[in-house]
A = this chain, B = another copy of it.
Amino acid sequence: MTNARSVNLTPLIILALVALSVALFAALVMSNAKQFGSAQSEGAAAEQQHYRWRMVTTWPKNFPGLGTTAEEFAKMVEQMSGGRLIIHVHGAGEIVPAMGVFDAVSSGSVEMGHGGAYYWRGKSPATQFFTTVPFGMNAQEMNGWLHHGGGLELWREVYEPFNIIPFAAGNTGIQMAGWFNKEINTLADLKGLKMRIPGLAGEVFNRAGGTSVNIPGGELYTALQTGVIDAAEWVGPANDLAFGFQDVARYYYYPGWHEPGSTLELLVNKPAFEKLPADLQAIVTYAARAANQDMLDQYTATNNAALKTLVEQHGVQLRRLPDEVLNELRTMTEQVFIEQAEQNAMFARVWESYKAFKAKAGQWHKVSEEAYYQVREGD
């Protein structure tokens, strides 16, 4: 019985196990076939690749307005991309020094930077128009020129040889003319002064008998305190109060003839940008546009209270630059433009476009913004 049963049952057990194996194998094949199907939709999901980028900046991390806008930009991109593009923002000196931002983005050692185009005039003097130039356009006019007047296209052309795509990503509005330790009553009062004043305005300042230097914001307080410089312009009340300039200088001058609406820039390494899928490229593009407005909105909301604090609590002397001084600076500015245009063809081309737009927008603003400012208070 035992033997007979074992003979009878064994083929059945084997048959059952073979059937089970076949069934399991079939199930496995089908299961893998389904997986292949979902692997295809994972192909679409593969486009949903995640990116971690680094942004270097020319500002101290989280510095009001300038640095916080860089963070705000990164936040917008993260939210809009559902976390597919995460940008870590680094303050000046964390990865590269402030003035190393352009080269770091150009080489691709980081994907992004946030700074001011006029810092890179050593690369091309035309870069200065994309931040601001003396007696130039204000924020509203700059935005019109950049986005609907051909300015951004020219900016891209100037940065093209450096593998960088620029975007406007912030505006300070009209800046203050700066901090001085003496009153400025005539042009002669500028003679011999060593002042932190970058860009074309620095050239004009030199022509007025001063000596211009460019020092990153984070080093200005010490430079003023130790007498390395006699004067400095930085941004406006909110930022200048944050740096504490009221402790190391007495006179605060307006209006900022030298920086009437400085555009800040987002620098993107071109190969890195081109590797992004189209939706993330659009997200970077429009987040920059939103950040561009947001910075100006912040300054519009904060500058007056800061100015009041400077004057009322710190005894800062608020002064208007005399018309005579401004008139002479304006004439010198025109000379500097003409000379630089003679020396550099791209400078000449960008100046041409800038000048034409400024003339048109300025005429419109004479009957709109300017006329309105004059009448709205009735004073």
Interface residues of chain A, those whose CB is within 8 Å of chain B, are 6-7, 10, 13-14, 17-18, 20-21, 24-25, 27-28, 31-32, 34-35, 38-39, 41-42, 44-45, 76, 79-82, 135, 138-141, 143-149, 173-176, 236-237, 254-257, 260, 277-279, 282-283, 286-287, 289-290, 292-294, 296-305, 307, 318, 320-321, 323, 326-327, 330, 357, 360-365, 367-378
Find the B residue at minimum CB distance from A368: B174
| A274 vs B61: C-alpha distance when bound (angstroms) | 34
In the complex the two chains form, is B279's CB within 8 Å of A82's CB? yes
In the complex the two chains form, is A365's CB within 8 Å of B373's CB? yes
From B18, B35, B318, A34 is in contact (CB under 8 Å) with B35
| A256 vs B254: C-alpha distance when bound (angstroms) | 28
Residues of B contacting A361 in the complex (Cβ-Cβ under 8 angstroms): 300-301, 304
In the complex the two chains form, is A236's CB within 8 Å of B368's CB? yes
In the complex the two chains form, is B24's CB within 8 Å of A297's CB? no
| A260 vs B236: C-alpha distance when bound (angstroms) | 25
Residues of B contacting A148 in the complex (Cβ-Cβ under 8 angstroms): 297-298, 300-302
User: How many identical subunits does the complex contain?
Assistant: 2
Residues of B contacting A254 in the complex (Cβ-Cβ under 8 angstroms): 367-368, 371
Are A42 and B38 CB-contacts (below 8 A) given A80-B279, A286-B290? yes
| A318 vs B304: C-alpha distance when bound (angstroms) | 35
Could you write out 30 A-B pairs with CB less than 8 Å apart? Answer: A20-B21, A24-B24, A27-B28, A31-B31, A34-B35, A35-B35, A35-B38, A38-B38, A38-B42, A138-B373, A144-B299, A147-B294, A147-B301, A148-B297, A148-B301, A173-B368, A173-B369, A174-B368, A174-B371, A286-B287, A289-B290, A289-B294, A290-B290, A293-B293, A304-B360, A304-B361, A320-B367, A369-B373, A370-B374, A373-B373
In the complex the two chains form, is B140's CB within 8 Å of A300's CB? yes
| A24 vs B17: C-alpha distance when bound (angstroms) | 11
Find the B residue at minimum CB distance from A174: B368
Output the residue of A173, A304, A305 with the most chain B CB within 10 A: A304
| A171 vs B12: C-alpha distance when bound (angstroms) | 81
Residues of B contacting A374 in the complex (Cβ-Cβ under 8 angstroms): 370
Are A330 and B21 CB-contacts (below 8 A) given A174-B368, A254-B371? no
| A151 vs B256: C-alpha distance when bound (angstroms) | 29
| A224 vs B174: C-alpha distance when bound (angstroms) | 41
Residues of B contacting A147 in the complex (Cβ-Cβ under 8 angstroms): 293-294, 297, 301
In the complex the two chains form, is B372's CB within 8 Å of A255's CB? yes
Find the B residue at minimum CB distance from A78: B282
CB distance from A316 to the nearest CB of B (A): 13
Residues of B contacting A376 in the complex (Cβ-Cβ under 8 angstroms): 135, 257, 260, 330, 362
Are A293 and B300 CB-contacts (below 8 A) given A25-B24, A327-B378, A375-B326? no
In the complex the two chains form, is A143's CB within 8 Å of B34's CB? no
Residues of B contacting A144 in the complex (Cβ-Cβ under 8 angstroms): 296-301
CB distance from A174 to the nearest CB of B (A): 4
In the complex the two chains form, is B289's CB within 8 Å of A293's CB? yes
| A378 vs B287: C-alpha distance when bound (angstroms) | 38
From B31, B81, B260, A372 is in contact (CB under 8 Å) with B260
Residues of B contacting A34 in the complex (Cβ-Cβ under 8 angstroms): 35
From B14, B80, B330, B364, A378 is in contact (CB under 8 Å) with B330
Residues of B contacting A375 in the complex (Cβ-Cβ under 8 angstroms): 255, 257, 321, 323, 326
In the complex the two chains form, is A307's CB within 8 Å of B364's CB? yes
